Amino acid sequence: MTKILLLSQSKSMLNSLRERLNFENFTTSEADSLMQAAELCHSTHFDVAIIDGEFSSEEMGVPTIVVTRTPDLETAIAALRHGAIDYLTPPFDMNRLLDTLRSIVSDDYTTPSVNARRTSRHTSKNTNCATQPIIGESEAIEHVRNMIRRVAPSDARVLVLGENGTGKELVARWLHNKSHRSTAPFVEVNCAAIPSELIESELFGHEKGSFTSAVKQRKGKFELANGGTLFMDEIGDMSLSAQAKVLRALQENKITRVGGDRDIPVDVRVVAATNKDIRNEIRLGHFREDLYHRLSVIEIDVPPLRERQGDIGLLVDHFITEICTRHDMDVKHIDNEAIDILSHCPWTGNIRELHNVVERLIILSDERITADAVRRYYHS
């Protein structure tokens, strides 16, 4: 069972986090101070720490999420510079927190501060068995699988296009797992989640003393992915200045750390993804055309769920088995009428939304999931 350490000076925040995480089947412990939290992390196994306030990832030694009681950008930037993998400001998006926690547990996150302690786990995450299957039998999804089979063995850069929640990251992981780089790292960076002030340091690393809180040298995502695959998610949200530096890295296969003067060669296959109309972004001057051409040697369009309604029954069956297993529950049966209703829902959030609805139905339904349960809980 996943163990989470909580530290917050706000009793209401602490109670809210504890209740929701325990409900979601996470085990929680609490610390009274940062010093005690660091001691606990080194004496007891925790999968992740959720900290309210300043911290150092070197002290914690586990993946850390920072929560703040005020929407303070400076605090968020400082947290990321000190190694936090995510930060949350009020009003808190609990679904985002849960998604981040599940990604950590499944080893989707690689952070420099905990890299040494997780080397063996990185090895296992790069095997095919660690990656979820691409579910579906529709022509649209079969086309995606065929593209992966054709493209993965090469080193060609790939741009994955699709709406939010369609499974772009899963496509990137299968491109990696089917390639000759499959035993090397798969490193992910969400370009939309990192403030523009930090993106260069996050991608290329920094030298000690390059800015106020740079207390030690840190490798960036390009170096961490050396020999493997770098997945740049939501690249359409990256600033133009950062785009220029990424373009140089792709052109010359080398990077320079922030505050450094030495070129570092890197051997990285870049797979990028965006939910934006990237050609329109180019027309608007928001995205560099030369970078687009560097990234889009191959384009893979991931279809929205509304274009593959015939796959919804298969996805629901898969999610029921996966979620019931995770919650240590007997696998529930779903009525055909319930699946029929789900197959005709709009699913603007695509597969991610479907997964959340199925989990809600499993938790709130009785022994079986009925059509009435779908009508009752779909919009709740």
Sign of CA dihedral 157, 158, 164, 167: negative
Return the closest-CA partner of residue 254 out of 222, 206, 286, 302: 222
Min mean pLDDT across 66-70, 196-200, 243-247, 258-262 is at 66-70
Together in a domain, 35 and 161? no
Alpha-carbon span 16 to 91, nearest angstrom: 13
Together in a domain, 55 and 94? yes
pLDDT higher at 143 or 126: 143
Alpha-carbon span 230 to 150, nearest angstrom: 19
Residue 120 within a domain: no
Residue 203 within a domain: yes
Determine the angle formed by the axes of helices 168-177 and 139-151, rounding to 10 degrees.
40
Residue 117 within a domain: no
pLDDT of residue 325: 87
Relative to beta strand 264-265, strand 254-255 is antiparallel
pLDDT of residue 151: 96
Alpha-carbon span 327 to 22, nearest angstrom: 11
Indicate the pLDDT class of residue 116, thresholds 50, 70 and 90: very low
% pLDDT > 90, the chain: 51
- Where do the H-state alpha helices sit in 9-138? 11-23, 34-43, 57-60, 73-81, 94-105, 112-115, 119-125
| Residue where a domain stops, chosen among 303, 337, 365 | 303
Listed in sequence order, the residues at least 6 apart from 64 whose beta carbon sits closer than 8 Å to its beta carbon are 48, 49, 50, 51, 55, 57, 83, 84, 85
Listed in sequence order, the residues at least 6 apart from 235 whose beta carbon sits closer than 8 Å to its beta carbon are 191, 272, 273, 274, 295
Domain CATH for 281: 3.40.50.300
Checking if the pLDDT of 359 tops 50, the result is: yes
Is the separation of the CB atoms in 231 and 131 below 8 Å?
Answer: no
- What are the structure tokens assigned to 75, written together? 């605090």
Indicate the pLDDT class of residue 265, thresholds 50, 70 and 90: very high
Checking if the pLDDT of 283 tops 90, the result is: yes
Return the closest-CA partner of residue 114 out of 86, 88, 83: 83
pLDDT in tens, 199-246: 888 899 888 877 766 667 888 999 999 999 999 999 999 999 899 999
Together in a domain, 199 and 254? yes
Return the closest-CA partner of residue 37 out of 15, 62, 14: 62
Alpha-carbon span 86 to 109, nearest angstrom: 10
| Residue where a domain stops, chosen among 275, 303, 331 | 303
Together in a domain, 178 and 284? yes
pLDDT of residue 125: 41
Indicate the pLDDT class of residue 15, thresholds 50, 70 and 90: confident
Checking if the pLDDT of 362 tops 80, the result is: yes
- What are the structure tokens assigned to 12, written together? 């209401």
Checking if the pLDDT of 120 tops 50, the result is: no
Which residue segment(s) compose the domain that 37 sits in? 3-112
DSSP state letters, 196-255: TTTHHHHHH-B-TTSSTT--S-B--HHHHTTTSEEEEETGGGS-HHHHHHHHHHHHHSEE
pLDDT higher at 105 or 193: 193
Using the CB atoms, write b or e for 1-35: b if 16+ within 10 Å: ebebbbbbeeeebbeebbeebeebebebeebeebe
Together in a domain, 161 and 282? yes
Together in a domain, 19 and 87? yes
Together in a domain, 49 and 132? no
3-class SS at 370? coil
Residue 118 within a domain: no
Domain count, the chain: 3
Is the separation of the CB atoms in 164 and 350 below 8 Å?
Answer: yes
Average pLDDT over residues 156-174: 96
Together in a domain, 82 and 96? yes
> φ, ψ for residue 105 (rounded to 5)?
-60, -35
Alpha-carbon span 374 to 371, nearest angstrom: 5
Average pLDDT, the chain: 84
Together in a domain, 253 and 333? no
Together in a domain, 142 and 219? yes
DSSP letter (8 states) at residue 100: H
Domain CATH for 100: 3.40.50.2300
Alpha-carbon span 81 to 241, nearest angstrom: 19
Torsion of CA 331, 307, 152, 250, to 10 degrees: -120
Torsion of CA 171, 340, 364, 97, to 10 degrees: 20
Residue 119 within a domain: no
3-class SS at 30? strand
Find where tokens 């068995």 sit.
129
Q: What is the pTM of this model?
A: 0.70
Together in a domain, 52 and 73? yes
| Residue where a domain stops, chosen among 63, 88, 112 | 112
pLDDT of residue 18: 85
Alpha-carbon span 107 to 125, nearest angstrom: 6
